[in-house]
Amino acid sequence: MAKKKKESNRSKEFVVLHRNIKDYEIFDLRSNRPVCYKESKFDLNAASMVIQEIDTFEFSGQPKRSPNTFEFFAPNNIALLLSIMQKSIDRAKEIYLVHLNPDKFNHSFENEKVNKKEKLYSNSKILYDYIEQIQSAIVFGYTALEAFTNLSIPNGYIYTSEKNGKGIQEVLDKDAIERWLSLKIKISNVLQEVYGTKGLTKLPVWSKFLKFEEMRHDIIHQKSIQETDFYKLYLHRNIFDVCSSPIVIIQYFYDSLEKKNSTNPIWPWIINREKTFPISYDYQSDNFEVIGNIYEGRKK
C-alpha cells in the first residue's frame, strides 16, 4: 500500500496492483479506474506501476473493542448512479414487455371476461411498479449526468455567457457555474468548450435529453398531488431511449476525448469497458510513501 500526498495537505491511499497495464483485470464496473504511473513516455522498458485508490470505514461498537476496519476500493459515483439508472430501465422494460406492451395485449375491459374490479387492482399495481422504475431511472440518470458535468469543469475555468437582451454578459467561475447555470446550458455551452467538441445539440439525443430533463423536473417540482398526467408519458414507446440519454451524452464526450488520446479519471467503466485508464508521467517519489501491504497490513 502507498499513500499519495496532495497539494491540500490531504492524502489518499492506494494499492499498487501491477507493474504493467496489461495485467490489470476489471473486477467491477462501478469502481474507480486505476492510474498508471510511468517514468518515461519514450522508453517502453521504463518502470511503471498501476495503483488503485482504497478507502476505509471504522465500525464502532459498544463497548469499544479491537479495531473493526472495513476496507474497499473507492467507487466511481457516476458509475454507481448510472448503474442504478440502467437496472431501473431493465426492470421497467421487463414490466413493459410482460404486462403492458400494446403489441401483445389489448387492455380494453370489454375484451376480457374477468372481474373488472380485480383487473383494476392488478393493472394499478403493475403500473405503480413500472412508474417506480421509470422515475428511479430518470432521477438517478439526471443526477449522474449532473455529477459528470460538474466534475468535468476544471478548477480555474471561467465561463462568459452570450449577451442577453440588455447587452449584459455574465462571467462565472466553476462554483457559480455549478450553482446558477441549468444543466442543459452546462452541457451545451460549458462542456462543449471544456472538451473542445461541437454539434451535440444537433444530434437526436439532444431532443431526448430535453424531454428527459422535463420529466425529471415534473418529478422533483410537482405543483399538486392531483397532477398525474405526466405519468402517462412513461407509457410512450420512446421512453427507454429518453431514459438512456444520460449515458449517450456521457459516451459522446468520451468518444470525442478518446479521439484526442486524452484520459480523465472521472470516466466510469460503464462508458468504456476496455482496459484504458489515466496514465501519468509525473511520478515523483517524494509524493509517495509506502505504508504497508495488503497481506501484512499497514506499518505500525
Task: Give residue-wise pLDDT tens across range 79-128.
Answer: 999 999 999 999 999 999 999 999 998 888 666 677 888 889 999 999 99
Question: Within a 10 A sphere around the Cβ of 286, how many other Cβ atoms?
Answer: 6
> What pLDDT does residue 8 have?
44
Could you give the CA distance from residue 82 to residue 89 in angstroms, rounded to a whole number?
A: 10
Antiparallel, parallel or unpaired: β 11-18 and 288-290: unpaired
Which of 175, 158, 160, 187 has its CA nearest to residue 253? 187
> What pLDDT does residue 189 have?
92
pTM of the predicted protein model: 0.84
155 φ, ψ (degrees, to nearest 5) = -60, 135
> What pLDDT does residue 285 have?
58
Q: Among the residues of the chain, which ranges form H helices?
A: 77-95, 116-152, 174-180, 183-185, 192-194, 204-220, 239-243, 245-259
Q: Give me the numbers of helices (H) and strands (E) for the chain, helices first please.
A: 8, 11
> What pLDDT does residue 170 have?
82
> What pLDDT does residue 7 have?
45
Could you give the CA distance from residue 98 to residue 214 in angstroms, rounded to a whole number?
A: 28
Low-confidence ranges of the chain (pLDDT < 50): 5, 7-9
Cβ pair 254, 194 in contact under 8 A: no
